[in-house]
Structure 1
């Protein structure tokens, strides 16, 4: 391959992006596939925008350090490895890990706003949008944020209504039609996963 094959995966909060990507990582070794997650490029909490109630709004494109995101992406595309510290949203008792990523023939970029950022969007060779019904996404979000991030259910519901849904309508949904593939993940994504895996195999063996 003359240059890496760049894949963008987006979708609403708790649509199943992380699970889908984890399945891809398990199917391909690090020599074949590298994952760059937007979640590790959030700006420090102290500079994040807060709403009228004093709650940080992580669901804004400005919450991401897109400059660092782009720099690391360019380094990977050029064949260089990168290191980035894991971003911790609420669980301050946890020690952030240092994530090391090696360049690979297939680079998967995932996150809420990767289609919104024109500098990233125009580089993508394949665009995937993962979708699910709102009630299913909310249930997943509650379980994830309460169990993994230590957020109270009340805060989760507040963020969903005030931050998540408005952001989805403004910064994600308009780009759904631009996706090459839309995956419905109300129940599972196994069929779509096999299609993507087969496509990746063809890319790797060109």
Structure 2
């Protein structure tokens, strides 16, 4: 008898869309041992991929030239390999990306398989190599102004950046990449979930009703598929 493979849910949406909030809520709803969350951002290329800068100035210039909102910034083949292993019931050692250093850490994160695998990220539905691995694709559709407000707050408070630097990056690469790579996936997703303004930052938490509204269609699909 062929062993049933683990069920992969891929959640995407623009930066600040609330997809991480939805993914965490689903993880908590399914409970311990039933699901594991798998961050796409862990697979940014290490600095060595672009060359080894010798000075701080060279490193800063190199980082400034990388478009992190383009799927090319990620090691897709490594991601595919790990997803295949998890779907087949094998554990993996996932990379850890250090945002402060703009480089991959020497440490890894051990991930053991679970019946439901939740892949979350802006490119989760935009990489052709993983499409045939996805069992349920979910796109969180959020107004641009709300996404930008969340991004500014996150980058300023959590990552120590200035508002000007966040806006400059948004206008130079983030917005264009969103409409080139991330947004088109909405039209092919199995589920599109509208976020009309659910708080998802700082001390302001989404209400139970808001979370339930966003979770309901995902849970319904899992029930129909016989996963839960």
Shorter-chain TM-score bucket reads 0.7 to 0.9
Contact conserved, 2:146 with 2:197, CA < 8 A, in 1? no
Name the structure 2 match of 1:193: 215
Contact conserved, 1:87 with 1:96, CA < 8 A, in 2? no
- Deviation for aligned residue 1:118: 1.1
- Deviation for aligned residue 1:2: 1.4
Q: 1:87-144, CA deviations, whole angstroms, 9 ceiling, x for partnerless residues? A: 122367xx88742211111111121122221121122111100111111000000111
Q: For 1:126-205, list aligned pairs within 5 A.
A: 126-188=136-198, 189-190=210-211, 191-201=213-223, 203-205=226-228
Contact conserved, 1:81 with 1:100, CA < 8 A, in 2? yes
- Deviation for aligned residue 1:86: 2.4
Cα distance between partner residues in 1 of 2:48 and 2:116:
35
Q: Compute the RMSD of aligned alpha carbons.
A: 2.6
Moved more, 180-189 or 53-62: 53-62
TM score, norm. by length of structure 1: 0.87
Q: Does 1:101 align with 2:77?
A: no
Q: Does 1:56 align with 2:79?
A: no
Contact conserved, 1:128 with 1:179, CA < 8 A, in 2? yes
Name the structure 2 match of 1:26: 28
Which consecutive residues of structure 2, in runs of 5 or more, have no partner in the other structure? Answer: 52-59, 199-209
Name the structure 1 match of 2:121: 111
Moved more, 23-32 or 69-78: 23-32
Cα distance between partner residues in 2 of 1:90 and 1:160:
19
Contact conserved, 1:4 with 1:107, CA < 8 A, in 2? yes
Cα distance between partner residues in 2 of 1:165 and 1:21:
23
Q: Tell me the secondary structure at the aligned position of residue 137 of structure 2.
A: strand
Which consecutive residues of structure 1, in runs of 5 or more, have no partner in the other structure? Answer: none
Runs of 4+ displaced beyond 6 Å: 49-53
Contact conserved, 1:48 with 1:63, CA < 8 A, in 2? no
TM score, norm. by length of structure 2: 0.79
Q: Which has the larger radius of gyration?
A: 2
Q: Tell me the secondary structure at the aligned position of residue 149 of structure 1.
A: coil
- Deviation for aligned residue 1:164: 0.9
Q: 1:140-197, CA deviations, whole angstroms, 9 ceiling, x for partnerless residues? A: 0011111222222221111111111100111112221101111111323520213323
Cα distance between partner residues in 2 of 1:67 and 1:153:
34
